[in-house]
Amino acid sequence: MLAPAMVVHGGFRCAAVMVALICCSVLCAGVATFAGEVSRKQIAVGKRLRRVNKPALKSIQSPDGDVIDCVHIAHQPAFDHPFLKNHTIQMRPAFHPEGLYDESKLVSDSGAKEQKTILQLWHQNGRCPKGTIPIRRTKGEDVLRATSVKRFGRKKHKTIPKPRFADPDLINESGHQHAIAYVEGEKYYGAKAIINVWEPKIQQFNEFSLSQLWILGGSFGEDLNSIEAGWQVSPDLYGDNNTRLFTYWTSDAYQATGCYNLLCSGFIQINSDIAMGASISPISDYGGSQYDISILVWKDPKEGNWWMQFGSDLVLGYWPSFLFSYLADSASMIEWGGEVVNSQPDGEHTATEMGSGHFPEEGFGKASYFRNIQIVDESNNLRSPKNVGTFTEQSNCYDVQNENNGDWGTFFYYGGPGRNSDC
């Protein structure tokens, strides 16, 4: 009678072993799959780093933890573009816009301090030699913070404010909010602004706050062309809360083309002093010293490229006209102002600040501003814009108020704290 019992017991033992083997097999397969995914991601990250981090002739450690690589001007990421393989670098624009302000007079009259010797934190430890350009080195953790390796360095779709067609449902769905001034209805060949610099507080790592100008062409659908420049605080992109100079471009509404700074091929930099994406210093104090930066973007009427100038005389480089469809000719809208990401769930509003984090009515020294805003017309003349409109999705969260006077020309205060008792 013992034999059958032993057989049954042995059956249980065999079954247990079989179950264990199956579980081990499944577990091992899962581990192998996970390891394979990790390995594939590591390979993709490595490829991306090799693509954006070019061999440096000199590297400079910045006090904020950045490494700035001085890369030979002919080896920058722009020349990975197939259309730029045999490109001859244009070392200066054929034409500047006519009618630039005497900014030294404007600065002394305004009470604001524009940085005549533009400082980025990395300058404290050195400069790049002539014939090179400074590039902020991208780290593996920078790429891994992105939603995917492919999307690293890109904005999300639907980040352009649409003043004429604002739909509250779309606004809430997109998660982006703005406080801007804008012009439309003409052909525009550039824009300029002097932008007050702050360090707004960001509530969540995946949110950002920026202040910029937009040069726009096409519709607000899938074919939008945009050139953007200003300052931003973006922990997701940079890994910290520093205020940084940035640029952006797209020719298809942020879908497959364009990127921030020099994180893809496109923008051709010629300047050895300023690093795209590097920290700006100093910044404004609430009720104290105010600092602002000047940004000018314009289309060279001879070569057709879109140029960017930082400060009163630092020409940084250009976007070749072939990158764009509509902007290959001209822009149809110009916008200036602030943008934040609101990623809070269930209708709660973010406390991420825009500008100084204070409302426009607080005025100079407390609210953030854009002053001396201008457009470049078809005659390549800089002039004050006509019929300036303003737009914000929720004025009790972030607001904008435009004005005009002799010293500051057309200007506006903007921004706000985000979540408050009325928001």
Residues noted as catalytic: 228, 339
The CA distances from residue 208 to 137, 369, 370, in Å, are 21, 18, 19
CA angle 359, 361, 366 (to 5 degrees): 65
Query: What are the φ and ψ backbone dihedral angles of 32, each rounded to 5 degrees?
Result: -65, -40
Pairing of strands 409-415, 399-405: antiparallel
β-pair partners for 317 = 269, 308
Contact by Cβ (8 Å): 127, 275: no
Pairing of strands 382-383, 113-114: unpaired
Q: Cite the beta strand spans of 104-143 per DSSP E.
A: 113-114, 132-136
β-pair partners for 276 = 135
The CA distances from residue 328 to 68, 93, 186, 272, in Å, are 32, 16, 16, 27
DSSP conformational letter for 115 = -
Contact by Cβ (8 Å): 401, 339: no
Contacts of 297 (CB under 8 A, 6+ apart): 190, 191, 192, 213, 215, 227, 229, 306, 307, 308, 309
DSSP conformational letter for 379 = T
Query: What are the φ and ψ backbone dihedral angles of 33, each rounded to 5 degrees?
Result: -65, -45
The three-state secondary structure class of 253 is coil
- Which helix (H) or strand (E) segment holds residue 10: the answer is helix 2-52
Contact by Cβ (8 Å): 189, 331: yes
CA distance 345 to 337: 25
CA distance 6 to 12: 10
